[in-house]
Structure 1
Amino acid sequence: MPSVHAATTMPDETALHDSTWLQWPHPYTYGLSYRNRLDATWVAMTKALVQSEKVRIVAYNNTEKKRIQNLLALAGIPLGSISFLITKTNDVWVRDNGPIFVLDEAGRLQITDWGFNGWGGDTPYTLDNTVPIAAAQQLGLTSTDLNKIVLEGGAFEVDGQGTFLATRSAILEAKRNPNLSQAALEQSLATHLGIRKFIWLDGAPGGKEDITDTHIDGFARFGTPETLVTMSTSDLQYWGISTADINKLATTSNADGVPYQKVILPLTAKNVVTTYGKNLGYKGSYVNYYVGNSVVLVPEYKDSNDSVAKNTLQALYPTRSIVGIDVRNLYANGGMVHCVTQQQPFAN
C-alpha cells in the first residue's frame, strides 16, 4: 500500500459539477459521414446537461464552432451556459484524452495531465493529447504534467473515498507503459488522485472489438461512493471477463473494508444495429452511463432492455432525471456515453 500523502484527490462522478466537457465530432480525421452520424448524440447530451451545469465543448476550429452553435440553436438549446475551447483534436473520446480534474487539500481545482497514446498507438492521438493543457490554460488552472504515465480516464474508476478500480490490461501493458511497475503507478495514483486502496482486475488485452484492452467503464462502475454497478455473471463472461475477475468484483469492498452494494444492469437483448443499418454483431452495455448534476445520461440502443436499464438507474439515482441517449452510431466506433464525457467538479 503506497505511503505517499495525497496532494490532490479526484471526487467521484456524483459530486457536484461545475461543468461537463464534450469533444465534438468533426470530419478532419474520419470524414463527413463519421461526423454527421454522431452529431445528434452530442446535441442530445448537451440538451440534457445544460439544464443543470455548464457544458464546455472542444471544437476543432472556428468553422466547426459556428456549425455546432447552429446545431444547438436549431435544437432550441440556450447558448448561455455553453463555452467553447477551440483546439484541434483527432477524435471524440474526451474521457480518455481529456483533463482529469482534482481538488487540492484547500479544495482548489487542478488538472492532472496524464499521457494519451491512442490506446497503445492504435489510432491517431497527438492532437488529442494536447487537450488537457489547452483546457488548463483556458481555465487558468494549475496543471500537473504526468505524461510519462499513459492513463486513460475510462481505464479506471474512483469512488471518491480512496478506492481505485481498473484492469491491468488497459494500463499496465507494453503498448502503454512498458517500463512502469504496478508499485510505481500506485505511488503516482495515491499522490495525484488520493487513492488508498487498489482493486486490480486482470482484464483481457485485445478483447472483442475492443481497442481499449478492456476499459473498466464498460462493465463495472462506482455508481455512488457506496455502490458498484456491473453486470450478471453470464453477461460479464460474454464481455470477456475471466472467472477470477468476476469473483473479485463479487467480493469488492472499499478502502475502509465495507462491501459495496451491487447494482446489476443487463446487456441489450439483441445485437446492436446502427441508424444506418449496420448490424454490429454484438450486444451493448448500459454500464457506460454518465451522471450529471440533475440528469443521468444512459446509453439507448432502441432495444427492449433500454427500459430495464433506465428503471434500474432511476432507483439508484432517485433525485435525478434519467435521459436515454441514442448511442447506436457511436457504439459502432467503440464507445458509449461515459467514453465521450468528462466531469469538471466544483472547487470547494
Structure 2
Amino acid sequence: MYRIGIGITMSSIHEWRVLMNAIEWPAQRLKFRRPAEFEPHAKTWMAWPHRQDLYGANLPAMQQAYADVAHAIAQFEPVSMVVHPDHAKDAHAQLGKDIDVVEIPIDDCWIRDSGPTFLKLADGNLGGVSWRFNAWGCKHEPYDQDNALAERILAREDALALRSFLHCEGGSLTTDGEGTLIVTETSLLHSNRNPGVSKAWVEKELVRMLGLEKVVWLPGDPLDLETDGHVDGMCCFVRPGVVMFEYNPDPADLHGRILADNLAALRSQTDARGRSFDVIPIPEAYDVEATSDVFARSYINFAIANGGIVMPTFGRPSGEEAMAAVARAFPDRRIVTVDVGAVVPAGGAIHCITQEQPL
C-alpha cells in the first residue's frame, strides 16, 4: 500500500484550514475518480457484528441477517467479511465457505461508513479514501479500530491510500462516476463531525479527495438521530443524470415533508454536465412500524451488485411498490430481497452494511 497523508497536531481549527489549503497532491498530477456504485465490482466488503454491549439479545438475529445479505450478494460477486479476530471461529461457522473471512480488529459493523471509499486511478490501479471516522459524532465508543479500518483494508488490497482531513462516512456520499456527488448538510456540516469549518471548506476537501467536478448539496434530515441524515437514506444514482429518490405518500407525514424538501433541492440543481436530474420515485417503508428511535424505514438503502440488486424486505405492501420501482430503474439486474428486521432498529439497512470495491 502507498499512503499519502500528513501526521499533524492542530492547535486550532484556523491552522488546520490554512494547512489544508496549502496541501495538494504530488505535482498536481495524481488523477483518479470515485466510480459509481452501478459500475462493475471486484467484490463487496462487509463487517461482522459482535458487540453484545450494543446489540444485546438481538445480536444472534443480526448476525444471521448479515449472513443472509452476504450470501445474497455472493450470488453476483465475491464477498469479503471483516471479522474481529476474537470472533472469527463463530463467523466462519455461520458464513460457511462461500464468504471470505478477513480477520481485522473492528469496533462495529457498518462498513459503508468505516471502510474505505474506493477510487480508480487513471493508470487503472486501485486507490481509496480513508476518512476520519468518529462513530457519527462520538455516538458509540470505542471507535479507534474502525477509524483505522479503511487503511487496513487498502493495505490488504495493495491500494493507494489517501487520508482525508474530513470527518465523513461513506453513507454520506452518492456519485454518478462522472464527477457529480450528492451529499447532505445535516450530516457533513454537523458540529459533531467538522466543527468550525465552512461549507466551502468541506466541499473543497470532497472535491480534492474524490476527483469531483461538482457537489450537489441537499438539506438533509434533522430527524435522523443516528447518522444525522445520510444521503443513502433518501436517494442514490441509477445512472448519470438519473436519481432514485424516496417519498412518503402521506402528505401529513413529517419525514415525508423532509424528503419532499430534499427532492425540491435536487430538482433546483444540475449535475457536472449541466443536466437536470431525472427522478425515479421509490416509497419508503411507510407501512412499517418503527421499533426504535433510529429505525431505518428505507428501501433505497439497498446494495447494487454485478447483475443484481439486494434490497430490504419488511413483508409489507410497500415492499411490492418498492420492488417495482427498483425493477424499472434497473431492468437488467435481478432483484433479491433479504429480511433485515434485525438490522434496521440499529439505524441502517443493506447499503449501510456493505461497501463495494470497483473492478
Considering the TM-score relative to the shorter chain, is it more than 0.5?
yes
- The corresponding residue for 1:196 is 213
Match of 1:65 among 74, 81, 88: 88
Structure 1 counterpart of 2:87, one-letter code? E
- The corresponding residue for 2:340 is 327
- Alpha-carbon offset, residue 249 of structure 1: 2.2
- The corresponding residue for 2:245 is 230
Distance 1:48 1:57 in 2: 13
Match of 1:215 among 214, 217, 230: 230
Distance 1:179 1:6, change over 3 A: farther
Match of 1:46 among 65, 70, 91: 70
Moved over 4 A (4+): 2-6, 233-237, 278-283
- The corresponding residue for 2:303 is 290
Native 8 Å contact 2:134 2:147 kept in 1: yes
Structure 1 counterpart of 2:306, one-letter code? N
Distance 1:281 1:57 in 2: 25
DSSP-derived class of the 1:241 partner: helix
DSSP-derived class of the 2:54 partner: coil
Unaligned 5+ segments in structure 2 are: 1-20
Distance 1:71 1:242 in 2: 38
Match of 1:305 among 318, 322, 331: 318
Distance 1:280 1:141 in 2: 38
**Alignment RMSD:** 2.5
DSSP-derived class of the 2:237 partner: strand
Native 8 Å contact 1:271 1:281 kept in 2: no
Distance 1:25 1:242, change over 3 A: closer
Distance 1:128 1:174, change over 3 A: same
> In the TM superposition, what whole-angstrom CA distance separates every residue of 1:227-247 from its partner, at most 9, and x where no partner exists?
111123756852562765332
- The corresponding residue for 2:263 is 246
Q: TM-score, normalised by structure 2?
A: 0.85
- Alpha-carbon offset, residue 251 of structure 1: 3.6
Structure 1 counterpart of 2:235, one-letter code? A
Which structure 2 residues correspond to residues 271-286 of structure 1 after superposition, within 5 A? Answer: 271-272=288-289, 278=291, 284-286=297-299
Distance 2:92 2:325 in 1: 34
- The corresponding residue for 1:165 is 182
Distance 1:280 1:185 in 2: 29
Structure 1 counterpart of 2:246, one-letter code? M
Distance 2:30 2:188 in 1: 21
Distance 1:15 1:243 in 2: 28
Match of 2:357 among 331, 344, 348: 344
Distance 1:89 1:240, change over 3 A: farther
> In the TM superposition, what whole-angstrom CA distance separates every residue of 1:164-188 from its partner, at most 9, and x where no partner exists?
1111110112111113222222222
Native 8 Å contact 1:85 1:138 kept in 2: no
Native 8 Å contact 1:165 1:199 kept in 2: yes
- The corresponding residue for 1:137 is 155
Q: Which has the higher helix share?
A: 2
Structure 1 counterpart of 2:185, one-letter code? R
Native 8 Å contact 2:62 2:343 kept in 1: yes
Structure 2 counterpart of 1:46, one-letter code? A
Structure 2 counterpart of 1:130, one-letter code? A
Native 8 Å contact 1:171 1:177 kept in 2: yes
DSSP-derived class of the 2:105 partner: coil
DSSP-derived class of the 2:317 partner: coil
> In the TM superposition, what whole-angstrom CA distance separates every residue of 1:145-172 from its partner, at most 9, and x where no partner exists?
11x2101100121111111111111011
- The corresponding residue for 1:95 is 112
Distance 1:279 1:332, change over 3 A: closer
Match of 2:121 among 104, 107, 120: 104
**In the alignment, does 2:152 pair up with 1:128?**
no
Distance 2:49 2:356 in 1: 18
- Alpha-carbon offset, residue 107 of structure 1: 2.0
- Alpha-carbon offset, residue 29 of structure 1: 4.2
Distance 1:158 1:6, change over 3 A: farther
- Alpha-carbon offset, residue 213 of structure 1: 0.9
> In the TM superposition, what whole-angstrom CA distance separates every residue of 1:169-214 from its partner, at most 9, and x where no partner exists?
1011211111322222222222221211111122244x15x22111
